[in-house]
Structure formats: structure tokens, C-alpha cells
């Protein structure tokens, strides 16, 4: 079998197809690169690893740029990844796949594919998520759900810790300073929380009896169709934090939530977690997360 001619024909046909049917060019790319990867894998078994460098030089001479040794190796890696059982949905572009290919952990790869598919994120957003080690900041329960292909809830995908860029000269910041940091980088903070969170108001005022109270942040998740109360704590998690946030959540549920909306979610964002406290005093729809200043 002439592997080189087969590879060359695959690449030429792909370029012709993309010019004729631009709307399907991404699918054509992935099919072509899979086929080329397969041929390169087979050629390597017959002629050794050096054959890729040889093919690269000939393809570059005959077809032009885009067929460097590293690019051909990526095509082979793409083929081998699919052979391991990794499914590539049509939403992923070749640039998305190139961001994922350097990862070694199959479960981590599957997570980022899941995020791309469900959140329709761009290549730059994907690169940032990988750079920020988003998968590593999921808890073990969520990772196991993804491995078992169970559908995680929105709160399961909220990272721990949540990264907040620190623009102050000190790490000893007050809750007010922490809230200001969040406001100054609100889009990236909401992205840290996960998909489909939107901002309603900070220091949201409510009246209970003859006293006014202020929620640190009131958010809304439009996929879950529910309000989200976010409370900031620059200390270790304490049991009284749960009583406070449950009061706010109950107020929202009784006075603001409509009958067609789901019960409010509460998030306590604290400096340090306390698993023992959380185990014994937590209630429904309350989660805690640490924050990390970066």
C-alpha cells in the first residue's frame, strides 16, 4: 500500500470539499485528519517513526504549508485518541481538539469535551479553562459522575477553589474588598461558577420584620430556572453562616420566586472550608466553596 499517496489524496480532497461546501468544512477536516492519522499510524508500524518527517517534507513541497511534522503527529494522536473510546462531538473544531490533545488523563479529556459540547465555548475559553486547571478543581464526586456518564447538576460543576484575581497589594482582604474584586471581574467570576449564571445585584436589600438585611450577591441561573444567593466570608466556614444564608434563601423563595421557578440555591464562598461543619449543619440547596486569590 502506498501510504503517502493515500495521505496526499485525503488532504487534497479535503481542500477541494471545503471550497465547494464551506458549511461542512469542520466535519470534513475532522474526517480527513482521522483518516490521515490512521494511515500515519499504519505507516509508522511499517517504516518507523521517521516516516512522518519524510512525509511532512514531501507534502510541504507538493501541497504547501500546514503539514509540518508536529501537525501530522497531531493527526495521528487524534486518531489514536478516538481508538481509545473518546467521542468527539461535531461542535468541536480542529483548534479545540488541538487544545485537548496534550492532556494525558482520559477522564480530564472527556470533561473538557463535555464542557465544549454543553456550554458551546470558544477555543480561547477552552484554553483558559485548561490553563486554570478547571478539571482538577472539581470534587471527586463530580469526577466520578462524569466517568459514569451521569448528568451532573449545575452546583456539581462549580469549581473548588474559585479563582479570583487579586488586584490589591495584600492577601488580608475584607469581605467588602472581596466583593469589590468580584464586581470588577464579574464576567470571569460568573464563568468560574459555571454555565448560565447571571448577575442581578450586589448588596441586595431585603426587609424582615422591622430590620433590613443585605445579601452579598443575588444571582440567577437561567438553565436551572432558580435564584442563587452568594455570601462571602473571609474566614473559615462556620455553622452560623448556614443559618444566615438559609434565612436569605427562604426569603427569596417566599417573596420573590415565582411558582414555576425552582427553589433557591445558596453558595457560601469562604476563605477556608470546614468539612466537619458542613457535614452536620448543611441543608438542602446549600453548598460551600473556597476562594483562592491569584
pLDDT value for 20: 64
Domain shared by 27 and 61, yes or no: yes
Rounded distance between C-alpha atoms, residue 137 and residue 124, angstroms: 19
Domain shared by 134 and 209, yes or no: no
Closest CA to 99 of 69, 76, 142, 131: 131
Which of 112, 130, 153 marks a domain boundary? 153
Closest CA to 233 of 291, 276, 194: 291
Domain shared by 170 and 253, yes or no: yes
Domain shared by 145 and 161, yes or no: no
Domain shared by 115 and 177, yes or no: no
Domain shared by 259 and 135, yes or no: no
Domain that holds residue 87: 3-153
Domain shared by 184 and 94, yes or no: no
What torsion, rounded to 10 degrees, do the Cα atoms 221, 225, 231, 232 define? -10
Write out the chain's pLDDT in tens, 294 residues: 799 999 999 999 988 876 766 556 678 899 999 999 999 999 999 999 999 999 999 999 999 999 999 999 999 999 999 999 998 887 789 999 999 999 999 999 999 999 998 888 999 999 999 999 999 999 999 999 999 999 999 999 999 999 999 999 888 899 999 999 999 999 999 999 998 999 999 999 999 999 999 999 999 999 999 999 999 999 999 989 999 999 999 999 999 999 999 999 999 999 998 777 766 666 679 999 999 999
Domain shared by 285 and 172, yes or no: yes
pLDDT value for 169: 85
What torsion, rounded to 10 degrees, do the Cα atoms 39, 43, 46, 52 define? -160
pLDDT value for 24: 63
Which of 107, 135, 153 marks a domain boundary? 153
pLDDT value for 157: 94
Which of 98, 130, 153 marks a domain boundary? 153
Domain shared by 126 and 167, yes or no: no
pLDDT value for 27: 83
Rounded distance between C-alpha atoms, residue 193 and residue 224, angstroms: 14
Domain shared by 230 and 116, yes or no: no
Domain shared by 145 and 205, yes or no: no
Rounded distance between C-alpha atoms, residue 97 and residue 74, angstroms: 9
Q: Domain count of the chain?
A: 2
pLDDT value for 282: 63
Domain shared by 149 and 160, yes or no: no
Which residues make beta-bridge pairs with 183? Answer: none
Domain of 218, CATH number, reads 3.40.1350.10
Give the DSSP letter string of the chain. --HHHHHHHHHHHHHHHHHH-GGGHHHHHHHHHHHHHHHHHHHHHHH-TTHHHHHHHHHHHHH-SS--HHHHHHHHHHHHHHHTT----TT--HHHHHHHTT---HHHHHHHHHHHHHH---HHHHHHHHHTTTGGGS-HHHHHHHHTT----GGGGS-SSEEE---SS-S---HHHHHHHHHHTHHHHHHHH-TTEEEEEEEEEEEETTEEEEEEEEEEETTTTEEEEEEEEEEE--HHHHHHHHHHHHHHHHHT--TTSPPPEEEEEEEE--HHHHHHH--TTEEEEEEEE-
Amino acid at each position: 500500500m502506498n501510504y503517502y499517496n493515500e495521505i496526499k489524496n485525503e488532504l487534497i480532497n479535503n481542500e477541494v470539499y471545503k471550497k465547494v461546501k464551506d458549511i461542512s468544512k469542520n466535519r470534513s477536516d475532522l474526517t480527513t485528519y482521522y483518516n490521515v492519522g490512521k494511515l500515519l499510524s499504519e505507516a509508522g508500524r511499517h517504516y518507523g517513526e521517521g516516516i512522518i518527517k519524510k512525509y511532512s517534507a514531501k507534502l510541504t513541497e507538493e501541497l504547501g504549508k500546514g503539514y509540518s511534522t508536529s501537525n501530522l503527529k497531531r493527526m495521528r494522536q487524534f486518531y489514536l485518541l478516538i481508538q481509545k473510546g473518546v467521542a468527539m462531538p461535531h461542535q468541536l473544531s480542529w483548534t479545540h481538539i488541538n487544545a485537548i490533545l496534550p492532556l494525558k488523563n482520559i477522564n480530564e479529556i472527556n470533561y473538557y469535551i463535555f464542557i465544549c459540547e454543553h456550554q458551546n465555548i470558544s477555543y480561547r475559553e477552552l484554553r483558559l479553562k485548561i490553563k486554570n486547571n478547571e478539571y482538577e478543581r472539581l470534587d471527586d464526586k463530580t469526577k466520578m459522575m462524569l466517568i459514569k456518564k451521569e448528568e451532573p447538576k449545575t452546583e456539581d460543576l462549580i469549581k473548588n477553589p474559585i479563582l479570583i484575581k487579586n488586584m490589591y497589594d495584600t492577601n488580608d482582604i475584607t469581605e467588602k474588598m472581596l466583593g469589590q474584586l468580584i464586581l470588577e471581574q464579574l464576567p470571569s467570576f460568573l464563568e468560574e461558577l459555571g454555565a448560565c449564571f447571571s448577575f442581578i445585584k450586589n448588596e441586595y436589600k431585603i426587609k424582615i420584620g422591622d430590620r433590613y438585611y443585605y445579601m452579598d450577591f443575588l444571582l440567577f441561573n437561567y438553565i436551572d430556572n432558580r435564584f442563587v444567593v452568594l455570601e462571602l466570608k473571609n474566614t473559615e466556614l462556620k455553622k452560623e453562616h448556614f443559618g444566615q444564608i438559609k434565612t436569605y434563601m427562604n426569603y427569596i423563595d417566599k417573596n420573590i420566586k415565582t411558582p414555576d421557578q425552582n427553589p433557591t440555591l445558596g453558595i457560601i464562598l469562604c476563605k477556608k472550608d470546614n468539612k466537619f461543619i458542613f457535614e452536620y449543619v448543611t441543608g438542602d440547596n446549600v453548598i460551600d466553596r473556597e476562594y483562592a486569590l491569584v
